[in-house]
Structure 1
Amino acid sequence: MNKSSLALAIALGVIAQQASAAGFIEDSKATIGLRNFYYDLNTKNTADDRGAVNEWGQGFLFNYTSGYTEGTVGFGLDAVGLLGLKLDGGGDGDVSDSRKPGQLFPLDRDGKAVDDYSKAGVTAKVRLSKTEARLGTLQPKLPVVTFNDGRLLPQLFEGGQVTSSEIDNLTLTAGQLEHTKTRSSTDDISLRIAGATAVGGVQADSNKFYYGGADYKIGKDLLAQYYYGNLDDFYKQHFLGLTHNWAIGPGALKTDLRYFHSDSDGKNGSLAGRADGYLAQGEINGANRVTGVEVDNDTWSALFTYTLGGHALSAGYQQVSGDSAFPFLNQGDGSTAYLITDRQIGKFLSAGERTWLAEYAYDFTKVGVPGLKATATYLSGDNIDAVGGDRKEWERDFRLDYVLQEGALKGLGFSWRNASLRGNTTATDADENRLIVSYTLSLL
């Protein structure tokens, strides 16, 4: 048993003794989310001509949040239980099948999608004044680490986190993560970045990701952020962010500025360590593969969104500089980067890449159809570092969402997400569709 598991067991024992205390039960909430997910991917230039992925599943997402026991120090317990059922597994997985499974479900030894899979987690929590400590299952949503929820079931992390709001307008956060259950896996997986490899059958990874930062609200319209993240033996990262809202005439302009500075840490900073697989992604070489390098990256972006009535128009730019791609926690089974360019298919974070984006969204509430929203996005990236000349890519996304506003099924949501990616990078050209029906039932 590792230290975190032992600490969690002790905390759960303390909480169990006080679970009947006032506040713990009265303030508890429980929901079960129903998510029906159809996924269709058609890749255009796969080497083995197995370019189709068609999978369909039903997800059940149970969430329980307790209140706190009474007293100066309050104790509580949260829990999550996730179950995914296969409705269509996406083919047999062998070379004779044009369909290739592996997006919504874990794969069995024969290459087929499993019939069902599940994962669960508990979180012990302690509150003192305006400070809360959490130990166990976490789903952080921060600039230096963000959980992924892009498939049937969400990603889970394990670790500890402390959040404090003792000072007005200032929120402080610090934590450590040890491993993750990715979105289509039930296994505890150690942490790494894209580019890390296995040498001699041993995967280069880490069980220590440290993070911390501050959110400071300057007036009602300006938010300043600083965060630090460190994946042991891979990288150290500093983040600065500024978000501002400005009323201009009948509309409003939102400005979102982000800057990341990332350097190597531990084994990634040494020749011996990189020889053991502690690598980051670098330039594309002549074999259409990404070169493994030391982390060396600066990424900055600016996104401006003007809203007027039901209209929202956005324009943004992002620059990736340095010898490596933008580093972030990425176990290869779907991860999220806190970038304005992290979209439905691509992330536009390669070494040297420059990306322009434009987006238009319309909320149909203004024309008498509340709950209906449409969004169209276009991104164009170029200057991607590669042997023999820079490369480029583009992506076009369209999204249509509708949520019932009244009646017995109020809150029932429908989402269609369509995207196309093209370019001459290591990624394959792809067309993708997602159809999602979701509904949340309140149990407590």
Structure 2
Amino acid sequence: MNQYLNLKPVLLSVAVAFSLPALVQAAEGGFIDDTTATLQLRNYYFSRDYSDIGGPNQQSKTEEWAQGFILNVKSGYTPGPVGFGVDAVGLLGIKLDSSRDRINSGLLPVHDDGRAADDYSRLGAALKVKVSKTELKIGEQQLMLPVLYFGDIRLLPPTYQGATIVSREISGLTLQGGQLRSTSLRNEAGDGELGAMVGFVPRRNAGALITTDRFNYAGADYSFNANRTSVGAWYAQLEDLYNQRYVSLKHSEPVGDWVLGANLGYFDSTEDGEQLLGKLDNQAVFSLLSAKYGAHTFYLGYQAMFGDDGLPRVFANVSPLGNEVPTFTFDSADERSWQVRYDYDFTAMGVPGLIAGVRYLTGDNVDTGRGFEGKEWERDLDIGYVVQSGSLKGLGVKVRNVTARSNYRTDVDENRLIFNYTWSLL
């Protein structure tokens, strides 16, 4: 899976070939005029210390620094009742600092000799076809779905290869479906089949990730009440590994000078087909309530796992769980967890662009399978600033400090420093 240069010529050729008949008319319509292109520069420092490392992996620290480039080009559509277009993504990651005893931060691929790659890159494209308010895409894609949550939390984002369809023919209603055949992980240039995690643990057989080449999904989201309320229902199948159902409710309600919000969700997951992961049984429920008053936002979250297992998900992805945070996910078997969080926008103090937040989570009742109850907690501090004017306008800086402790998994002290700047090229 660790290929360090992959230009995806097949996908590009297919996209161009299918588009050629329509591109003849491109100059007459919005194919060129509506094209957008952005280049994001991301400089990422990641450090994670393991204060009580145990087990076969005795690496006590992960620390790497890298520079990323993310190019996104999205064409408009050719004219006519059927519009054609092409989306392309180019990714490049460059090592700035690493060593064999500090690898596996998720920023860089790792060679067979245990060293991080000096650089890695990827170029992919997708053909898109639009009829009315329905769009079909075939090829390289970056998706944000509740059953396949977009995990852009390291140097470069993951991508997926397959076919998807999105329809918004009815006001307020969004219908989606698709099949994905492979993925390029956040620290890979090549692509491979999709694996699974159950809770925070990747599922392996003889050391190799258990994978499949089919991820099928379908879902519907409906917004109403002036878009202040939305409901969703989804189904996902990671073929022969697990299948999953998800329902959600989101609501925002102004009350005087306050804005109250609620984000509620429920997952039901079980084994699928050949049961390559064995039997699975998980039901996950979460609620994240918010209250915003001026520059202040307060959150209270509760999350609970039921059944014999933790929440299954596609390997190396995050999830929309209310208590899933940067380091611990609080989704182990039988776990119950609470979250309190506070965010402040310093615009109210005359410093626009500066925001800060702190949160604390605690979980218990974990079925460790080792004869004792698992417990854990995490404290996160985030500070972010976006330059508002001058030659550096738009430059974003984010600092994250994490302390996470557990009696059944490794303790973590973590720091991240991230610089982001996006150029609009078209």
Match of 1:35 among 21, 39, 42: 42
2:391 corresponds to 1:388: no
* 1:309 aligned onto 2:294: yes
Cα separation, 1, equivalents of 2:337 and 2:193: 31
Q: Following the alignment from structure 1 to structure 2, what is the Cα–Cα distance between the partners of residues 78 and 375?
A: 35
Amino acid at match of 1:92: R
- The corresponding residue for 2:100 is 92
C-alpha distance 175-5 of structure 1, shift in aligned 2 (>3 A): farther
**1:433 and 2:415 are equivalent in the alignment:** yes
**Contact persistence 1:191–1:329 (CA under 8 A):** yes
Name 1:61's counterpart in structure 2: 70
Aligned with residue 308 of structure 2, among 323, 329, 352: 323
Quick check: 1:354–1:384 contact (8 Å CA) kept in 2?
Answer: yes
CA contact (8 A) 1:415 1:436 kept: yes
For 1:304-383, list aligned pairs within 5 A.
304-330=289-315, 334-383=316-365
Letter in 2 for 1:216: Y
8 Å CA contact 1:34–1:59 kept in 2: the answer is yes
Shift of residue 101 of structure 1?
A: 4.7
For residue 442 of structure 1, report the CA deviation from its aligned partner.
Answer: 1.1
8 Å Cα contact 1:402/1:413 also seen in 2: yes
Q: Does 1:12 align with 2:20?
A: no
- Aligned position for 1:215: 221
- C-alpha distance in 2 between matches for 1:108 and 1:242: 44
Shift in Å, 1:202: 6.8
Change in CA separation of 1:7 and 1:411 when aligned onto 2, cut-off 3 Å: closer
Structure 2 CA distance, aligned partners of 1:126 and 1:407? Answer: 40
- Structure 1 vs Structure 2 CA RMSD: 1.8
Structure 2 letter corresponding to 1:365: T
Matched residues in 1 for 2:159 and 2:258: separation? 38
Residues 74 and 127 in structure 1, CA contact (< 8 A), matched pair in contact too: yes
**Corresponding residue to 1:249 among 248, 252, 256:** 256
Mapped partners of 1:398, 1:215: distance in 2: 32
Q: Which residue of 2 aligns with 1:144?
A: 147
In 1, distance between residues paired with 2:73 and 2:380? 34
Aligned partner of 2:404 in structure 1 is 421
Q: Percent identity?
A: 42
Give me the TM-score of the superposition, normalised by structure 2: 0.92
Report the Cα offset of residue 424 of structure 1.
1.2
Show the 5 A alignment for 1:229-308.
Answer: 229-268=236-275, 278-279=276-277, 293-308=278-293
Q: Over residues 346-394 of structure 1, what are the superposed CA-to-partner deviations in whole Å (9 max), with x where a residue is unaligned?
A: 1111010001001000011111111000010111010000231211100
Runs of 4+ in 1 over 6 A off after TM superposition: 4-8
Distance 1:123-1:87 versus aligned 2 partners, 3 A rule: same
Q: What letter matches 2:204 in structure 1?
A: T
Residues 197-239 of structure 1 show CA distances to partners (whole Å, capped at 9, x for unaligned) of 225x875311111111111112122101111111110111111
TM-aligned CA deviation for residue 102 of structure 1: 4.6
Q: Is the CA contact 2:100–2:114 (under 8 Å) kept in the aligned structure 1?
A: yes
Gaps of 5+ in 1: 94-98, 269-277, 280-292
TM-score (norm 1): 0.88
Deviation at 1:19, TM superposition (A): 2.9
1:231-288 CA-partner distances (Å, limit 9, x unpaired): 11011111110001111120110011101111111121xxxxxxxxx22xxxxxxxxx
Secondary structure of residue in 2 paired with 1:40:
strand
Whole-Å Cα distance in 1 between the matches of residues 9 and 165 of structure 2?
17
Partner of 2:4: none
- Which one of the candidate residues 152, 155, 159 is aligned to 1:156? 159
One-letter code aligned to 2:68? G
Residue 408 (structure 1) shift:
2.4
1:103 aligned residue (81, 91, 106): 106
Task: Work out the CA distance in 1 between the residues paired with 2:329 and 2:160.
Answer: 21
Q: How far does residue 114 in structure 1 lie from its aligned partner after superposition?
A: 1.1
Residue 49 of structure 1, CA deviation: 5.1
| Contact preservation (8 Å) 2:67, 2:95 | yes
Distance 2:367 2:125 in 1: 43
Q: Is the 8 A contact 1:163 1:174 kept in 2?
A: yes
Residue matched to 1:133: 136
Q: Is the 8 A contact 2:148 2:317 kept in 1?
A: no
SS of 2:274's partner is: helix
* Amino acid corresponding to residue 218 of structure 2 in structure 1: G
Residues 387-419 of structure 1, C-alpha deviation per residue, up to 9 Å, x if partnerless?
Answer: 312111001001000001122221110000111
CA distance in 2, matches of 1:327, 1:53: 26
